């Protein structure tokens, strides 16, 4: 198993927001983490990255215990996190943003990034702050890729984007996954999740209330209705 999260608990002060969460991501797998607002999805990602460290439980990556490592050491293990606010440099150009993030000896060259994201190539001399929301998201993913991740962790990459851009990013994520990179995706857009994922976990009040493969999840209208509030019309 690439990533193994075992029975973790995490807190904000006294507030016990992650309660016994376990999940796995296999080599090259795309796993979705779903749940309503406030369910604990982002905090789970932050616990994996050591930003909100798990107080109990264990997280291993390729069998190595990373539970208590500081964030920079976890990133150094080829886990790349693209947070919701994207974190690109607004005053640097697209190309400067990519070059600054690039690791020596990375599997991914700038040309590889531009092949997946042709819009970034067109915009390579524009400042990060001049990009549209979708382009910023593409740049944030591109910046993660030049770090040669084995696992890419994305927090709601298509939130607030126009449907045509969402489709573009879904196709790009398929290509990235096709290159062998595993992806853990927090997403509220069910359509996106079912197009991409091998498996799904649903969180509610900081607990895993469902997990299943994509076929089982797609067939289970009751689960979607109960935990995600997606009314199924008939």
Task: List interacting residues with ligand ATP (CB under 6 A).
Answer: 12, 15, 17, 35, 37-43
Measured from the CB of residue 21, what is the shortest distance to ligand ATP in angstroms? 11
Three-state secondary structure call for residue 103: coil
DSSP letters, 151-209, are: EEEEESTTTT--HHHHHHHHHHHHHHHHTT-EEEEE-S-HHHHHHH-SEEEEEETTEEE
Q: Which is nearer to ligand ATP, 17 or 54 (CB)?
A: 17
Burial environment of residue 4 by CB neighbours within 10 A (0 to 12, 13 to 18, 19 or more): middle
Q: In the bound complex, what is the minimum distance in angstroms from residue 125's beta carbon to ligand ATP?
A: 34
> Which of 121, 226 has the CB closer to ligand ATP?
226
Residue 101 or 158 with smaller CB distance to ligand ATP: 158
CB atoms within 10 A of CB 81: 22
How far apart, in Å, are the Cα atoms of 222 and each of 186, 199, 234?
Answer: 21, 17, 13
Nearest distance from residue 189's CB to ligand ATP, in Å? 12
Min dist CB 229 to ligand ATP, Å, is: 13
Q: Which is nearer to ligand ATP, 136 or 189 (CB)?
A: 189
Query: Measured from the CB of residue 227, what is the shortest distance to ligand ATP in angstroms?
Result: 12
Identity of the residue, 41 or 199, whose beta carbon is nearer to ligand ATP in the bound complex = 41
Looking at the Cβ atoms of 38 and 118, the one nearer to ligand ATP is 38
Q: How far apart are CA 215 and CA 233, in angstroms?
A: 20
**Cα 227 from Cα 35, distance rounded (Å):** 7
Closer Cβ to ligand ATP, 15 or 104, answer by number: 15
CA distance 93 to 183: 27
CB of 32 to ligand ATP, least distance (A): 13
Altogether, the residues listed in the chain come to a count of: 234
- Half-sphere exposure (CA, 13 Å, Cβ side) for 179? 19
Smallest gap from Cβ 35 to ligand ATP, in A, equals: 5
Give counts: helices (H), strands (E), the chain: 10, 10
């Amino acid at each position: 198993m690439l990533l193994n999260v075992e029975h973790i608990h995490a807190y904000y002060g006294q507030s016990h927001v992650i309660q016994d969460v376990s999940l796995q991501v296999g080599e090259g797998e795309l796993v979705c983490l779903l749940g309503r607002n406030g369910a604990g999805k982002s905090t789970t990602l932050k616990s994996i990255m050591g930003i909100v460290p798990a107080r109990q439980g264990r997280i291993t990556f390729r069998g190595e215990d990373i539970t208590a490592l500081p964030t920079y050491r976890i990133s150094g293990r080829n886990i790349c996190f693209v947070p919701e606010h994207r974190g690109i440099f607004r005053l640097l150009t697209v190309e400067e943003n990519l070059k600054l993030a690039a690791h020596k000896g990375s599997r991914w060259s700038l040309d590889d990034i531009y092949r997946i994201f042709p819009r970034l190539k067109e915009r390579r001399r524009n400042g990060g702050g001049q990009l549209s929301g979708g382009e910023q998201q593409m740049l944030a993913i591109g910046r993660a890729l030049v770090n040669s991740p084995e696992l890419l962790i994305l927090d709601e990459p298509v939130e607030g984007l126009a449907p045509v851009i969402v489709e573009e990013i879904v196709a790009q994520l398929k290509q990235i996954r096709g290159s062998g990179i595993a992806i853990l995706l927090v997403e509220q857009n069910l359509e996106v999740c079912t197009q991409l994922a091998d498996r799904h976990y649903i969180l509610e009040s900081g607990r895993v209330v469902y997990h299943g493969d994509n076929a089982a999840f797609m067939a289970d209208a009751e689960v979607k209705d109960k935990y995600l509030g997606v009314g199924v019309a008939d």
